[in-house]
Structure 1
Amino acid sequence: MQPISTALCSFGMSGRVFHAPFIAVNPKFTLYGVLERTKNLAQDKYPHIKTFRSLEDLLADDAIELVVVNTPNITHYEFAKKTILAGKNLIVEKPFTATVTEAEELIALAQQKNVMISVYHNRRYDSDFLSLKEVLDSGVLGEIVEAEFHYDRYKPELSEKVHKEVPTGAVGSLYDLGAHLIDQAIQLFGTPDAVFADIAAFRPNSQVGDYFDVKLFYPSHRVILKSSYFVREPLPENILHGKKGSFIKTKADVQEQDLQTGKIPNAPHWGIEPDADKGILHTEKNGVVVKEKITSLKGDYMLYYDAIYDAIRANKPVPVSAKEGMEVIRIIEAALKVTKKKEWYT
């Protein structure tokens, strides 16, 4: 097995929590280097790695085979384009780009340069989503009428990261949090026929959207995606209603919390939810109405990186294609357009 030499473009929360731990413990990869312009935080934690002070120096290193573009949203296009032109395979953090036009250009360029490109939609590997998908695929709810997914938090203060609060492209909760929900909705139900949205800013002095209510229209059902920074009491974040029954599930994936506390992603019992967070299934089976708790599936972001290895070494499909990442941006752009026009009746 030939490990894939990998470099990160930053070592903020994304690099420190969601990428480096999985690359470092997976024998299929080597954490070779990290781009940090002034600090050495990555090298303090992983002494064997190389620290780069510029993207140009990182891309010039022939030892690097895979680059993770995990910089601020607005820089994804620029960093990804330079990485592709350097002939490196790449993973781009979600959201893929700010616009569909940028995404289309990167996809075409990657095909021209024959490099692998994937978007890091890791929430496909949350225990919540995997469990929800299993219930949906089982058909136990009958034909779906309505689905509602939330990504709420209580965080009324502005972010300390200034770039998250400046009204530029790819900024705001629809790009940051909504991208996860939109990707999951597409995975479950496909591309919608139409989009309606309401995006607002409710935090004091906020210049970017911190609230959204997006409705996706399908021929036989509706999907509602919501997020607010003013939800102190958590709501069920996954709701399915079918013609035979309902399934309700809290957001309980433990991976991010465990990663934040320094737990290693190959530890025993990784990604297993507490029993208290089992989903509730209320439906009809064989003519009998039943209400029962459903044990959640195991969450595991490592599945994404294992699939990346197979894509590079065995030419298998990437776990999240750039075209799939682009479809998320297409819906975000539609939601922004609808909100701007305010096309509703009064």
Structure 2
Amino acid sequence: MTTPLNVALLGYGYAGKTFHAPLIAATPGLHLTAVLSSSPAKVHADFPAAQVHAEAAAILADPLIQLVVIATPNDTHHPLAKTALLAGKHVVVDKPFTLTVAEARELEQIAGERGLLLSVFHNRRWDADFLTVKHLIESGQLGRVAQFESHFDRFRPEVRQRWREGAGAGAGLWYDLGPHVIDQALQLFGKPQAVYADLAVRRDGGLSVDDAHVLLRYADKRVILSASMLVAGGSPRFVVHGTRASFVKYGLDTQEDMLKAGLQPGCAGWGDDPRHGELLIGTAGEPQRESVPTLTGDYRAYYGGVHAAITQGAANPVPADQAIAVMEILELALRSSEAKRELSL
């Protein structure tokens, strides 16, 4: 029998509405009870039975709420998570965890002292393309990886009027997409020795970073992380070069587009990606080319893991220490770009 947990979702903007609410609703044992939003009609159109509050205090004071999910603007993650933990709630925080490593470590300490779950929504560990790359590396089909490239590019030349593209703390592409590509790299290769970053504003009228090129230096490989708002036509999502073969994959995971289209997690075709990658096996002449079907992705694994961690003592799907490691690279890259030089971790 599945143990029920009452969940409060703080924030019903893009992240809350598109990702968190549908995934919570699709997870057995999680009940979306309350939502923090200034637009009750927007929430009730999707979840008629949910309570909607304009202030977080009313939600955090409710003894029936056991899990609080924070999907508000980045600069509010730390204060809201801290308040929720001090109120005795388990907490999930959308990426980025916080704005600084110091804030993240404080939250980890509070959660540890109170025996509460603190987890960060690094959902792209369950991307179809990433799972495929991970399998190829772990199976040894590529040999020893010498170079790994992760591109998360878009073409949005016009600056939109929203906090993610504004000039405030935690805005910009590096805070938005940086956590994704960093977390995936750390899952594959662990912490690097050093970081070199070039973070810039390239768009006309841009107010925050919209172009990022970051090099993670390891003893035996280089990892290149790239994100831009000015790449038309797309670029390879992953390019991996090893001592036996290379792998190239185009196209982003399909789950975000499915969620944006209003499809329910777990529906027919959920997490499928019809775009195959290509394995190029090195030979003395022209490389042998093989099509590699993409594995199926499933973001539902994250919230299923959260429920199991709280109710059964299972492993936290993304524990705070792993999210802190991401914040260390995120923060070091900001410093590297300012100093215009490589910095050791």
The normalised TM-score by structure 2 is 0.95
Match runs of 1:143-158 below 5 Å = 143-158=144-159
**2:173 aligned partner:** 173
Unaligned runs of 5+ in 2: none
The structure 1 residue matched to 2:300, chosen from 299, 302, 318, is 302
**2:187 aligned partner:** 187
After TM superposition, the structure 1 stretch with the greater mean CA deviation from structure 2, 227-236 or 32-41, is 32-41
Shift of 1:166: 3.4
Shift of 1:167: 3.0
**1:197 aligned partner:** 197
Shift of 1:207: 2.0
CA contact (8 A) 1:199 1:213 kept: yes
**1:329 aligned partner:** 327
CA contact (8 A) 2:26 2:300 kept: no
CA contact (8 A) 1:151 1:177 kept: yes
Alignment partners' CA distance in 1, 2:300 and 2:26: 10
**Quick one: which amino acid aligns to residue 240 of structure 2?**
L
Alignment partners' CA distance in 2, 1:292 and 1:220: 26
Q: Does residue 132 in structure 1 map to residue 138 in structure 2?
A: no
**Quick one: which amino acid aligns to residue 117 of structure 1?**
L
Alignment partners' CA distance in 2, 1:37 and 1:108: 31
Label 1:252 to 1:342 Cα distance change in 2 as closer, same or farther (>3 A): closer
**2:114 aligned partner:** 113
After TM superposition, the structure 1 stretch with the greater mean CA deviation from structure 2, 223-232 or 163-172, is 163-172
Q: Does residue 102 in structure 1 map to residue 103 in structure 2?
A: yes
Work out the percentage of aligned pairs sharing the same amino acid: 40
CA contact (8 A) 2:196 2:341 kept: no
Shift of 1:38: 4.6
Unaligned runs of 5+ in 1: none
Match runs of 1:196-275 below 5 Å = 196-274=196-274
CA contact (8 A) 1:40 1:51 kept: no
Alignment partners' CA distance in 2, 1:343 and 1:16: 39
**Quick one: which amino acid aligns to residue 130 of structure 1?**
L
CA contact (8 A) 1:193 1:216 kept: yes
Alignment partners' CA distance in 1, 2:297 and 2:86: 35
Shift of 1:284: 5.2
**Quick one: which amino acid aligns to residue 3 of structure 2?**
Q
**2:281 aligned partner:** 283
| Cα deviation code 1:217-256 (max 9, x no counterpart) | 0000000001111101111110100111100011331111
**2:290 aligned partner:** 292
Match runs of 1:19-98 below 5 Å = 19-98=20-99
**1:318 aligned partner:** 316
**2:161 aligned partner:** 160
CA contact (8 A) 1:77 1:102 kept: yes
**Quick one: which amino acid aligns to residue 100 of structure 2?**
T
| Cα deviation code 1:62-110 (max 9, x no counterpart) | 1111010110011100110111010000100000000000011110011
Once superposed, what is the RMSD of the aligned Cα atoms?
Answer: 1.5
CA contact (8 A) 2:164 2:176 kept: no
| Cα deviation code 1:32-51 (max 9, x no counterpart) | 11011354311221111111
CA contact (8 A) 2:239 2:249 kept: yes
Alignment partners' CA distance in 2, 1:104 and 1:178: 19
Alignment partners' CA distance in 2, 1:191 and 1:18: 28
CA contact (8 A) 2:28 2:304 kept: no
